[in-house]
Structure 1
Amino acid sequence: ILALSNDPEIVMEYFVSYPEVAEVLAKGTTKSSVILNDHLQVDLRVVEEKSYGAALQYFTGSKDHNVTLRSLAIKKGFKLNEYGLFDKETEKYISGKTEEDIYKRIGLTYIEPELRENRGEFDAAKNNTLPLLIIQDQIKGDFHVHSEWSDGSDSIETIAEAATKQGYEFIGITDHSQSLKIANGLSEERVKKKILEIEKARKKFPELRIFCGTECDIKTDGSLDYNNKTLESFDFVYIGIHTAFKMDKDTMTKRIINGMSNDNVNFLAHPTGRLIGKRDPYEVDIEQIIDAAKQTNTRLEINSFPDRLDLDDMHIKQAKDHDVKFVLGTDSHTINHLGFLRFGVATARRGWLEKKDILNTFSVRDIEKMIGT
């Protein structure tokens, strides 16, 4: 935590006295560290206003980014640290109040915090080709929401009402397919009944486009869990891996690509299958998946559920560099999960994505054209 104060000692005393503090690791006049009851370490740094931008840049950039930035500063005749930008010879203070001014003085366009990984952002900043990163306000809806028809908690009308309160223009009801019995996957007969219910809900919520989608399982041989006639009845089709995670890399890769080759498929859900802290990604050749996504015009999902965040930022950037497009989905199983979309936006920003890269930013009319509804 970075803060400004004219009386830092009072701030530090308040900080270490916080009721959730289990242990004080260090307490100083401008810097303190504590361990909370949930074992999280929190550091607080208090600086002067003239140093705030420099400190903010110093603590948000990765080590590689900061080392490179300091090297560029030296070449310009400066010295850069968390207190500011100084003349290298006289040590006279030059700048530090804002991050923007520091980058400008070093001869760079402002680099957003999410891009500070030394993965090409310096060349882009010099050439004025940095992306205009997506922002939350550009999101018009969520494509990946489970209802009580499969393993979700809420009815379609409840989801539609919550989406309307979010200010969304559309919502995608995306339940599991028939083979996933543990998730109450829908038989082909239940799919027909669900479509009828969605048609009723559309009449009740005329200002909200309720898409009827599916999260169709990719079976072990790469075939899909519904026949083509059933797949054609959906507004869009997600496919994903939900069983047999231990396949070898080549077999898993072929399995996914085989699923993507079906003409009815629009999106690949949580492409690497990871559950953060619970399950490693399955073995898959992500480069081949990216190539197949490009060839089949399949959008890759950035699953926004906090346990997933899949694709991750490095794979997103890699796919973007191959002109692959994306879709955001919360994988919500209750309306309380709808807010998770902000985590997908944050991950997309780390992957250099712009508004044009993500389907959720388009109008309903444009979306319908793109997915062929």
Structure 2
Amino acid sequence: MPVHNSEIAEAFDRIADLLEIEGANRFRVRAYRNAAMTLRSETRSMADLVARGADLSKLPTIGDDLAAKIAEFVRSGRIRLLEQLRGELPEGLVEVTAIPGIGPKRTRALYEALDIRSRDDLRRAAEAGRIAALPGFGDKSETKIRAELAHADLAEHRLRIDTAEDFAAPLLAFVRALPGVTAAEIAGSFRRRRETVGDLDIVAAAAEGAPVTAGFVRYDEVARVVSQGATRVTVILRAGLQVDLRVVAPESWGAALFYFTGSKAHNIACRKRAIARGLKLNEYGLFSGKSSVAGKTEADVYAAIGLPYILPELREDRGEIAAAEAGRLPDLIAPGDIRGDLHAHTEASDGHDTLADMAAAAQARGYGYLAITDHSPSARVAHGLDARRLAVQRDEIDRLNAGFKGFRLLKSSEVDILEDGRLDFPDAVLAELDLVVAAVHSGFNLSEAAQTGRLLKAMDNRHVSILAHPTGRLINERRAYAVDFERLARGAAERGCALELNANPLRLDLDDRQCRIARDAGVKIAISTDAHSVAGLEVMRFGIDQARRGWLEAGDVLNTRDWPALEPLLRRA
């Protein structure tokens, strides 16, 4: 049975969670977390590498011990250490640890004082007022825990888009190879490239549906068949992901793909246009009475209701119908528009590869530049560079750049924004850099007014070129901190500072709505990977997807420009 990288990464994260609750050495915990990040960013299949006898210890952050555990999981579907830890602590404590504001130490305290073993236990204790009385908690903590639990309930059961892709790609290949299938696509929120996915909706075209659905349930990752018919089937995969397959005749392919791609609001708006023309639109086609008007392709369906083709990323009923009717649909940015990456780390701070390695990987992608943005000194856990180490790195970049043709490493730093809005380096240091990327890494609990003021003050510094991951969110892990985003966007425009769309699928910060707000305010966006390894540069495509959902065109994005055109935009003086 195939093993996905995301499954191994999940196991490593679970080990790290349980070790942290036990109070294990923080470096040991971090080793598992870093390995999980490596696995999620690695494009090669660990199962394939193990089968070929590859030396996994050569991968960044892995080493001999973790390589052995990867091989153990691939071969047996289990890791003995994880099973041991599960026997020592209730696994439900991991869910408690994930609630913002609790963490491993507080989780342990709740377990020992109140026998809280799960999120449900925590909810009951909070609703009964039992947490406030514990040392180190209090009424405010209990109120915050109740609010975070409510938010966590809403976020449950949605996979990040990168994790969903890990399951979607082999599944789609399997469906396309089934006898009789002439076309197949994954529809739904996955096709619209939403940042999280609740389930997978597959649409397939075939003259006969029953053989396709019968073949589909034999997919080796299917754990349970929920329902099965001649044209539709619902299954649950081994990993718990629900997958729905719908088979239609080839002449209905376009209509079905349109219908199951959604969104629901977009479909309703299109159906209203059809009704106004005396037509009926459903998953089988567009009909005038019993006669088919369109349905074989999506473009035919749109044309028949008086619209040009609308790309899936725009189908959210946020003005795309009116824009299409008026001929004003955006010319969305595409991967080939990107000329470089403006946020990347090396082994000098918390990255895993050298300057030369990162430069070579960026050149292999056809980039003209790569900004090296290792952390500033306040980021102690990330081994942030002080002024002396940063100066040494600048000199090394100069030496490397002397040997490049048509490419350059940009001297930069991801400079911490302190709680009062000051920057972690003095202006004399910042002035030596090609650009400055400023970011918040602490103080997430400030009020909206204080947090907004903090960010605006940081952008007051004329050396700041880009505000990185502007809301601080981690998808399914940490909510965005409170900030008046419209005020922030106006402030960035007034100061000539760009905002980052962090392409890491854990962040995708800005979200799609914020991209549009920033664009409308006249702010330029930098789509950057925040890569911590060579493999991390690969996530640029997720940022492109998010930008497309935010209606961004190439001209709205800083790093669609070559260096001579970009340089003056980064300097605000």
TM-score (norm. length: structure 1): 0.97
Report the residue type matching 1:10 in the other structure: P
Please name the residue that 2:417 is paired with.
Answer: 218
Please name the residue that 1:272 is paired with.
Answer: 471
Please name the residue that 1:136 is paired with.
Answer: 335
Please name the residue that 1:237 is paired with.
Answer: 436
Find out whether 1:303 has 2:502 as its counterpart: yes
**After the TM superposition, which residues 175-324 of structure 1 pair with which residues of structure 2 at under 5 Å, given as runs?**
175-324=374-523
**After the TM superposition, which residues 324-343 of structure 1 pair with which residues of structure 2 at under 5 Å, given as runs?**
324-343=523-542
User: Secondary structure of the equivalent of 2:328?
Assistant: coil
Higher relative helix content: 2
Displacement of 1:14 = 2.1
Is 1:160–1:205's contact at 8 Å kept on the other side of the alignment? no
Is 2:208–2:249's contact at 8 Å kept on the other side of the alignment? no
Report the residue type matching 2:342 in the other structure: F
Displacement of 1:172 = 1.2
User: Secondary structure of the equivalent of 1:211?
Assistant: strand
Higher relative strand content: 1
Cα displacement string for residues 14-73 of structure 1 (whole angstroms, at most 9, x for unaligned residues): 211111111111111111111111111111111112111111111112111111110111
Displacement of 1:108 = 1.3
Alpha-carbon distance between aligned partners in 2 of 1:348 and 1:252, rounded to the nearest angstrom? 25
Is 2:420–2:454's contact at 8 Å kept on the other side of the alignment? yes
Please name the residue that 2:556 is paired with.
Answer: 357
Find out whether 1:37 has 2:258 as its counterpart: no
Displacement of 1:342 = 0.3
Is 2:258–2:298's contact at 8 Å kept on the other side of the alignment? yes
User: Secondary structure of the equivalent of 2:413?
Assistant: strand
Is 1:76–1:106's contact at 8 Å kept on the other side of the alignment? yes
Displacement of 1:247 = 0.7
Please name the residue that 1:19 is paired with.
Answer: 220
Displacement of 1:291 = 0.7
Alpha-carbon distance between aligned partners in 1 of 2:400 and 2:547, rounded to the nearest angstrom? 31
Give the greater-gyration-radius structure (CA).
2
Return 164-173 or 297-306, whichever deviates more. Answer: 164-173
User: Secondary structure of the equivalent of 1:273?
Assistant: coil
Displacement of 1:107 = 0.9
Cα displacement string for residues 282-319 of structure 1 (whole angstroms, at most 9, x for unaligned residues): 01111110111110111111100011000000111111
User: Secondary structure of the equivalent of 2:464?
Assistant: coil
User: Secondary structure of the equivalent of 1:33?
Assistant: strand
Report the residue type matching 1:91 in the other structure: K
Is 1:149–1:184's contact at 8 Å kept on the other side of the alignment? yes
Please name the residue that 2:46 is paired with.
Answer: none
Alpha-carbon distance between aligned partners in 2 of 1:223 and 1:361, rounded to the nearest angstrom? 30
Is 1:33–1:43's contact at 8 Å kept on the other side of the alignment? yes
Is 1:177–1:217's contact at 8 Å kept on the other side of the alignment? yes
Return 204-213 or 154-163, whichever deviates more. Answer: 204-213
Is 1:218–1:225's contact at 8 Å kept on the other side of the alignment? yes
Cα displacement string for residues 218-249 of structure 1 (whole angstroms, at most 9, x for unaligned residues): 10000111111111111111111001111111
Report the residue type matching 1:221 in the other structure: D
Report the residue type matching 1:366 in the other structure: A
Instruction: Report the aligned-residue RMSD.
Output: 1.2
Please name the residue that 2:282 is paired with.
Answer: 81
Alpha-carbon distance between aligned partners in 2 of 1:54 and 1:6, rounded to the nearest angstrom? 16
Alpha-carbon distance between aligned partners in 2 of 1:363 and 1:205, rounded to the nearest angstrom? 15
Is 2:463–2:571's contact at 8 Å kept on the other side of the alignment? no
Alpha-carbon distance between aligned partners in 1 of 2:467 and 2:314, rounded to the nearest angstrom? 25
Is 2:465–2:571's contact at 8 Å kept on the other side of the alignment? no
Gaps of 5+ in 2: 1-201
Please name the residue that 2:254 is paired with.
Answer: 53
Alpha-carbon distance between aligned partners in 1 of 2:540 and 2:481, rounded to the nearest angstrom? 24
Displacement of 1:213 = 1.4
User: Secondary structure of the equivalent of 1:176?
Assistant: coil
Alpha-carbon distance between aligned partners in 2 of 1:97 and 1:355, rounded to the nearest angstrom? 32
- Say how many residue pairs are matched: 371
Alpha-carbon distance between aligned partners in 2 of 1:372 and 1:318, rounded to the nearest angstrom? 23
Alpha-carbon distance between aligned partners in 2 of 1:11 and 1:204, rounded to the nearest angstrom? 56
Please name the residue that 2:122 is paired with.
Answer: none
Displacement of 1:144 = 0.9
Please name the residue that 1:174 is paired with.
Answer: 373
Alpha-carbon distance between aligned partners in 2 of 1:129 and 1:345, rounded to the nearest angstrom? 20
Alpha-carbon distance between aligned partners in 1 of 2:348 and 2:405, rounded to the nearest angstrom? 22
Question: Higher relative CO (CA 8 A, sep ≥ 6), structure 1 or 2?
Answer: 1
TM-score (norm. length: structure 2): 0.64
Return 220-229 or 3-12, whichever deviates more. Answer: 3-12
Alpha-carbon distance between aligned partners in 2 of 1:6 and 1:106, rounded to the nearest angstrom? 27
Report the residue type matching 1:267 in the other structure: I
